[in-house]
């Protein structure tokens, strides 16, 4: 069984950032804790969002299109599910005659496809030993993620202030 630290190191070797094919940190565990927050399907390194604990995304959690977003192979099942969800929603919206602005955007769909293809290409280039290590690490990472909720910054409704209360 692989430890979480070595698993994260291994998982970092098969990850994708927007505009990059692959990225490995010197110490991914330390890096993740110091300059990133968890978001769906990966990590966010956007400074104001990190400073606010993940609750101040300037682009409304459209992570796939953000240069501060990174993901890795441990998220592949979720990325595939998200792509399928977007494709189904787009098809349903088109069938219903929905306005173009209400549909999932093709750029977002294309970005998820690019990320998935990039990770799958990297996966194919790994040795059998590296794949086993990453598969074991991925299992640990998924278990750890399931134990923590990711807050998306949904606005809360506040009661109106009353002038007659003391």
When pLDDT is cut at 50, 70 and 90, the band that residue 31 belongs to is: low
Residue with the larger pLDDT of the pair 165 and 122: 122
Let me know if residue 19 belongs to a domain: yes
Let me know if residue 154 belongs to a domain: no
Of the chain, the percentage scoring pLDDT greater than 70 comes to 69
Residue 53's pLDDT is 86
- Please write the tens of the pLDDT for every residue from 92-147: 999 999 999 999 999 999 999 999 999 999 999 999 999 999 999 999 988 887 88
Q: How many domains does the chain have?
A: 1
Residue 146's pLDDT is 80
Dist. CA 80–CA 68, nearest whole Å: 20
Let me know if residue 57 belongs to a domain: yes
Buried b (16+ CB within 10 A) or exposed e, 22-53: beebeebeeebeeebbebebbbbbbeebbeee
The domain in which residue 140 lies consists of 4-146
Buried b (16+ CB within 10 A) or exposed e, 127-142: eeeeeebbebbbebbe
Residue with the larger pLDDT of the pair 96 and 54: 96
Strand order in the sheet with 42-44: 15-17, 69-72, 42-44, 37-39
Q: What is the mean pLDDT of residues 145-156?
A: 64
Let me know if residue 139 belongs to a domain: yes
């Amino acid at each position: 069984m692989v430890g979480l630290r070595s698993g994260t190191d291994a998982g970092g070797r098969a990850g994708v950032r927007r505009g990059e094919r692959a990225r490995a940190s010197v110490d991914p565990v330390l890096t993740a804790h110091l300059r990133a927050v968890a978001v769906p399907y990966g990590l966010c390194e956007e400074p104001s969002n990190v400073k606010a604990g993940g609750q101040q995304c300037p682009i409304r959690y459209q992570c796939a299109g953000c240069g501060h977003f990174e993901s890795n192979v441990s998220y592949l099942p979720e990325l595939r599910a998200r792509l399928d969800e977007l494709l189904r929603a787009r098809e349903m919206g088109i069938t219903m005659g929905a306005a173009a602005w209400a549909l999932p955007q093709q750029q977002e769909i294309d970005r998820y496809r690019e990320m998935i293809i990039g990770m799958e290409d990297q996966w194919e280039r790994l040795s059998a030993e590296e794949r086993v290590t990453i598969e074991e690490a991925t299992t640990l990472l998924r278990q750890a993620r399931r134990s923590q909720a990711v807050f998306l910054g949904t606005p809360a409704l506040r009661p109106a202030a009353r002038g007659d209360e003391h």
